[in-house]
Structure formats: C-alpha cells, structure tokens
Amino acid sequence: MMDNLLISIIIPVHNEENNISPLIKRLTNTLNKYRHEIIFIDDGSKDKTVNNIKEEIKKNLNIKLLSFYRNFGHQMALSAGYLESKGDCVISIDADLQDPPELIPKLIKKWKEGNKVVYAKRQERQGEGLFKKITASFFYKLINVMSDVPIPKEVGDFRLLDKTVVKFINNLNEQPSFLRGLVAWGGFPNSTVYFVREKRLTGKTNYGLLKMLNFALEGITSFSTKPLRISTYLGITAGFLGLFGILYELIMKYIYPQTFVIGWAGLFTAIMFLGGIQLITIGIIGEYVGKTYREVQNRPRFLIKEKINL
C-alpha cells in the first residue's frame, strides 16, 4: 500500500555521471511504497551528469533537476534542495552511493516515531585509507572543541529533516555555509540510525584535506567566538613572556655583567614568536570580518541555470 506522506530526496551532484543510473535504480527500489520526489541539484558539473539526469527524467517524472551556472559548493546545493522540496520530510544523500539508499525506510520509521531530525551515523568506513579516517576523526574533534554547538560525530549530510526543520532553515537570514551546525543548533528532537559506509561506487571524492580544513574553519567561525578568545589569551601569554624576558635580561645584566652577552638567537626567537601570534590573531579576525563582509554584500547564494519538473 502506498504511503500517503510525501518524501523528498535531495541529492547534490558534481561530476557524478557514472553514479546517476545506479543511484536512481537503488532509490526507486527503496521508495516504491512511498509518495516521493527525487531532486538532483547539479553544482556546476563539467561532465555528462546533467545529460544523464535528463535521460532518467524522461523515464520517471518523480525525478527533478535544478542546475547551477557554476560550482557554488555542496552546502549551497543542499540549501537549494531544501528550498525546492515539498515533502513532509526531506532526506539528503550524496550521489556516490557511500550512503546506502536502503537505509531510508529506517530513517522514515524513526521520523514517524516523533523525531524531527534523524541522523545516519557511520559505524564503519569501508574503502577509506588510514589518512582519511584520521583526518575525519580530527575534523569532528576539532569542531566540537571549538564550537559552542555540539556537532554529532561521524554524521555527515545523510539525514532526514521534518518539514518544520526545513522551514526553519529556509527562513534563516544568514548564508547557511555549515548546515550540520544549523540543524544541531535548532535543538529539535532527534534520533540516530547506524550504518556501515560503503566504498565510493565510481569517481573521486570532491572533499580533499584542504576542503575538509576549510569546512571545519567555516563551521567553527559560524557557531563560536572561541577563536577570538583564544587569540586574546595568546596575546596575554606573549605579553607576560615578553615581560619575564625583560626582567630576566635586566637581572642577568646586573648580576653577571662580565659574562652577559647580548645574542641574536634570543631576539630572533622573540620576534618569530610574537610575529607568529600576531599573524594567527589577524587571520582569525580576518575570518570573522570576511564572514561579515559576505553577509553585508547580500549576494544571492547561487544562480539557477535550469529547472526541470520543479
């Protein structure tokens, strides 16, 4: 019997041409007992991703497409998907099939029990090297130490949101560059479903180490002022160390004037130490100024090139 509730599936894609057909096959097999819509958000793909999606739309009108003029980023693609979705709940999932579509009924079950947010949490990461696992672990530890909002560990963007949560996100005035934090910040009733993350079907990940670090920095500066406080503490520490250094030099000069020699090593170390702290502090302040600058500009989050079935 067909469930009368509408389930929206939003899928950001960027150069995923070989994954489209296998993903749709597994999704449709999973969703056949639900009223559903599958919304692809193409984030400026340069391959045949859009063409492959259009071919699938000809066979299934539940599939929809929104495409950008250029790459605006994964989080902006998710934001566009939330704005276009019409479902009673919205499930976001990546196109690489590392997150199994077969988990969706479990997410829906938890949602029907009254949870507004249902996270899909990774118990194991298959097909990922040690370096990737270490950096992912570091990412969650860093962001939870620095952020004022606890972010669930080993939870990505594979999750279910009730339409009330989606409405909350869509009504925000800020540019949502870290949706995991915004979802957690709301404090909505939530639950977790565990799964084993599979190998990527084809292609290469779009999230390298540098992107992960930038993503972490974006999350920290979006939900905490701790970095500014830390820069203040560093400045105070540097000031005390400088004061102690001056006192030490004066004492040594008057107690052992015959052996006291002014060396370049101490001066070089002091300059490097203070210079490093100053650059770190300026960089931290610059991150917050940059975020303020982008908000004041009030530019569109993304530019839509094409819509099909929406």
| 85-102 pLDDT per residue, tens | 999 999 999 988 888 999
- Reading the block at residue 164, the tokens are 């009330």
Residue 216 within any structural domain of the chain: no
- The whole model's pTM is what? 0.76
Q: Specify whether 136 is located in the same domain as 29.
A: yes
Pairing of strands 3-13, 34-42: parallel
Q: Specify whether 101 is located in the same domain as 247.
A: no
> Who wins on pLDDT, 286 or 84?
84
Q: Specify whether 120 is located in the same domain as 252.
A: no
Q: Please compute the mean of the pLDDT values over residues 171-181 and round it to a whole number.
A: 78
Q: Specify whether 239 is located in the same domain as 269.
A: yes
Residue 93 within any structural domain of the chain: yes
Residue 275 within any structural domain of the chain: yes
Q: Please compute the mean of the pLDDT values over residues 283-299 and round it to a whole number.
A: 77
Residues of the domain holding 254: 226-297
Helices 264-297 and 209-223 sit at what angle, rounded to 10 degrees?
Answer: 70
Q: Specify whether 170 is located in the same domain as 232.
A: no
Residue 270 within any structural domain of the chain: yes
Residue 284 within any structural domain of the chain: yes
The pLDDT of residue 3: 65
User: In which band, very low, low, confident or very high, does the pLDDT at 299 lie, cut at 50, 70 and 90?
Assistant: confident
Side-by-side strand order, sheet with 117-125: 190-197, 117-125, 155-162, 89-92, 3-13, 34-42, 63-68, 304-308
Residue 33 within any structural domain of the chain: yes
Q: Specify whether 245 is located in the same domain as 188.
A: no
Q: Specify whether 130 is located in the same domain as 246.
A: no
Q: Specify whether 102 is located in the same domain as 245.
A: no
Q: Specify whether 156 is located in the same domain as 293.
A: no
Residue 116 belongs to a domain with what CATH number?
3.90.550.10
Q: Specify whether 51 is located in the same domain as 144.
A: yes
Residue 137 within any structural domain of the chain: yes
Q: Specify whether 132 is located in the same domain as 8.
A: yes
The pLDDT of residue 255: 75
pLDDT above 50 for 1: no
The pLDDT of residue 7: 95
Tally of structural domains, the chain: 2
Question: Phi first, then psi: what are they for 66, rounded to 5°?
Answer: -130, 130
pLDDT in tens, 254-278: 776 665 555 655 666 677 677 777 7
The pLDDT of residue 232: 75
| Sign of the four-CA dihedral 61, 20, 79, 193 | positive
